[in-house]
Chain A
Amino acid sequence: MKFADKTTTIAAAIAQIPDGASVMIGGFGVPGTPFCLIDELVRQGPKNLTIIKNDANEQGMGVDHLLENGQVATLISTHIGLNPRAVGLMNDGTLQVEFCPQGILAERIRAGGAGLHGFLTDIGLDTEMAEGKQRVEVNGQTCIVETALKADFALLHADSADPFGNLCYAATARNFNPLMAMAAGQVIAEAEGIVAMGGIDPNHVHTPGAFVDHVVKLSTLTKEYAVVRR
């Protein structure tokens, strides 16, 4: 038995993303952010995107290039405080920002990927984060209905991949990547290294290749992947 080879070029993989698409992007700060896929998305320039990402990176990095290029209509995120441009665009109404508690964003994506429609939680119940959300009583506890979240595309960063798309992440670069891998119609993973089939121990696969549609090998890492001097 043989597995499909899903390796492709970065240009071909990103060319599928049209105006108005919803795009999940992995990463928490620098680790796990697919900077090269984002750069290609900036180069090809589809507009009116809905971006779903934990944070807005920092100014001059990652998602910020999409914001600077005017490609993002809506950002679904948990924290944008390290990116003054994102805060500014939100404040002047150019960018619609939907905030989610971080674990709730993760779980909404997980639920979407797991074929569920939503889940019940008491997180944020007494806060403005719960405003406008449906409430139900379960076993005497008031809960908020949180809807599942899916996207047209997911852009991931992996440490290593095989041609079928089995993925391994490094350290805290895992974060939202394996969740988003399950929750999008087309899943595009960039990998720092591509190993032969069988090169990843089946016990050590973080995302099974069956979730992944396209694998892009990174020939070089841009400076945005490097340690940030603080």
Chain B
Amino acid sequence: MNLVRSWICNFPEPQKTSITDALESASLAKIRPALRLLEDLSADQRGPILNVELLSTFNLEPVLPALQLALNCLPSRACLQLGPLDAIESHISQRAGAESRKPLHARVIIWRLEELLPEALYPFSTGFPKQLAARVEEVVQRVERVVGLHQTNAHGVPLFLSTIAFPVNFSNPVFAAQHRAGLFSSVGRINQKIYELATDNKGVHVVDLAAWAAFEGRAHTDATLDFMARQPLSAKGQTAFGLFIARSLRPLIVPRRKALALDLDNTLWGGVVGEDGLAGLKLGHEFPGNVHLRIQRELLELRNRGVLLVLLSKNNEADAREAFDALPEMLLKWDDFAARKVNWNYKHENLRHAACELGLGLDSFAFIDDSDYEREQMRQSLPEVLILNDTPDPLHTLRSLWETDAFDSFSVTDEDHGRHRDYAVRAARDVSAHQDDLETFLKLLQMEATIEEIGPSNLERVVTMLGKTNQFNLTTKRHSRAEVQAMLNSPGSIPLALRLRDKFGEQGIVGVVLAIPIGQNSTLAIDSFLVSCRALGRGVEDALWTAMIDRAARQGTRKLQAEYRATAKNGIVAELYDRLGLQRVEQSSSSIRYQLAPVKRRAFPSWMAVTNQSNER
């Protein structure tokens, strides 16, 4: 239920309560009102459209409301289409011709042994072992044919194949385990084929019904309902099945979290390094240090499959570093973290800075902390961040890592494997660590800036930057594409973008300046001036400003007007125009107006090679 609560966290309270009540009670009498309440929400609140086709060898019709509710919780506007009972191949073939139907986002095939291979339930009545083994191979071939048929007739539609759950209603389970043609081995053979098909075919995924049924146990089934209606799931089984299918499909519409921010004390080890000292920390193969060791194992696994780890710790950095170096059982190394913020600042501010350095949105982050206070402050300050644990208990933290779906994905790509290395490169670009000899460091980065005219090739990126840049943004004007286009069309305007590369690679457009003519006296006003946070502190603003001034001087500008408009986030540029040599002419609590007259050309920064391609207008 914790997963569902996180899925529906943005729903209004009445819907949340109704859904939670419905799923906990597993009662259709509560599921139906919950479904009706969901219809009151707007399309935006309800999530993306998700058209799912279900094909099954048993009767799923009674289960549809539970399945519908679970998929709606993702959230999604799920539309379920149930194919005819036990007619998988003919339906796939026929549907191919029906082009007028709505597009499919997923096809799910659920099958079970009772229909696929009923002989396995009565081996001695059906030619055990030889004949039965041959029948198993026929089923394996059938499964393969179904995938081929789908690929031919519905190419590009993700296909979800269920594995075969072990039956619970049959006799002699002891014997079923003794022979390669026995029931359990037969199920295993078919499932093995299903896993292979998913491995070898892009867009084919597994809904592991066998694993799910094992987790759920016998209580998910109901023999009475199976005999009555060929529907084998109990009421609780139906909602659990719905949630299981929903989670299996979720990566189709919800991207996984890319980073996990976590604290040190009482998470990576037991105890507080600043108080207990190294000798007092608990980490190792004995209880309770083994819980923390297992947490580290899980975190290392996440890192190795492409989730970035970010360290957020209120500690002296030297103490934390010493613990990493000195504790022999530490699995995680200092460099396993793509960003480290070990200081006494607010954790939400540290996380915001880390997100900026890594070029990730806040909604890419999950967070773990043993402190109730820190979790609550993170929840209040950055609601986009998903908080995984909700108590200080380390075992609970470990469980939250086991149970979370925040990092669910269908596959792990080469890009995922290399992600940590890529972000280590980003960290190597971090100028804040080299303030002692900044100019030397900046020269070592071998930066090459290209000044471009804003136009069709970069307009999209410029509009995105205008919409998202908060820190280095002098006026924070959120112009639309049409508004920027109007400025480009204005005679005498100077719309420039700066593209940066360094020895680590291409950074793309990282700076924008928009200057527009006003009045009749050859005056230009700076409408917008912004630099992406991933390029802060590297003198990008100097290069861009110099290029703009150069152009302004050449087109005869006599006076330049500029403004700093204060926001909650752009304090770092409060004195930029002073540094660039402009004079203050007017000041209030929320803004400072500047001017520059005469407009004199200035030199480009010495640590950066600048190519100016903007002089074509």
Q: Do A and B share a complex?
A: no
Give the B-binding residues of A (Cβ under 8 A): none
Give the A-binding residues of B (Cβ under 8 A): none
